Amino acid sequence: MNSRLRLVLFVVVGLVQLAVAGGAIVESELALRTGEAFRFRIQPVDPVDAFRGRYVAIRFAVDRAPAPDDLDVKPGKQVYLRLENDGEGYAVLGQASAEKPMSGPYLRLRAGGIYPDEDGTRFVWVSMPFRRYYMDEDRAPAAERAVWGGRRGQREASVSVRVRNGVGVIEELYIDDVPIHQWLTDNANIR
């Protein structure tokens, strides 16, 4: 292959690399700046990722949504979930649909299976895309202990998520309505 063609291909490949990394930045920034805010209740745990460092793993208290009888999505395929508020200021997952909702905020997620519960109501299980809250390696274990305390019923943990065009990006992790960094500073002694 001649070197000019190789160079052109390299430039294309290089731009694709930048577009993938840069595109994720743009998409996230747009969601954070212009998206609608929701608060989700969470149940977290903490591990480490060799490439991306320490994080607080997040398990959402809700990970299934009511599915209408005619909904038929294969596991791994995309499903759209409306977002609603439960009255206490926390988000709940509304009706699932295979097509993009005409109005109102929604999340675009991958579907798990569809199963009926004990009462026969159909639910679609989803894997929430924001499952990690990355933190400074020194503070993540402390944050983890703080959030685990909440799991035993003493503290309430939640995340705020900005949602735009089906894309949700985590904004902040809260313990008892206090942002995690603030909480860690305030409670430096009781950890």
Partner 1 sequence: MGRLSIRWLLGELPTLEAEGVIDADAAERLRTHYTEKTSGSGRRLVVAIFAVFGALLIGGGVILLLAHNWEAFGRGTRAAIALLPLLASQGLVGWVLIKKSDSTAWREGSATLMALTLAAAIALVDQTYHTGGDLESFLWRWSLLLAPLPWLLNSTAVAMLFLAALTWWAGAAKVEGSQILMMWPLAAAVIPHLIQVMGSDRRGLRAANLQWAIALFLCVAAGLGLENRVPGLWIVVYVGLFALMITLGVVNRRGEDGLWRRPLEVVGVAGSIIMWLILSFDEPWRHIGWKHIHTTERFHEVTSWLDVMLAVGLPLAAIAAMAFLLDRGRHRLYLLWGLSVPLVAVVWPLTAETDSRWIGAVSFTVLLLVVGIATIAEGVRQQNLGTVNLGMLVVALLVVVRFFDSGFGFIFKGFAFILVGFGFLVANIVLSRSLRAGEEEVK
Residue 8 as a binder of partner 1 (CB under 8 A): the answer is: no
Q: Out of 2, 25, 88, 119, which residue is the one contacting partner 1 (CB under 8 A)?
A: 25
Residues 82-141 that bind partner 1 (CB under 8 A): 129-137, 139-140
Give the x-and-dash track for 137-176 against partner 1 (CB under 8 A).
x-xx----------------------------xx------
CA dihedral (172, 176, 178, 182) positive or negative: negative
Q: Give the nearest distance from C-beta 110 to partner 1 in angstroms.
A: 10
Q: Give the nearest distance from C-beta 114 to partner 1 in angstroms.
A: 12
Complex with partner 1: residue 122 or 181, whichever CB lies closer: 181
Complex with partner 1: residue 56 or 93, whichever CB lies closer: 56
Complex with partner 1: residue 92 or 184, whichever CB lies closer: 184
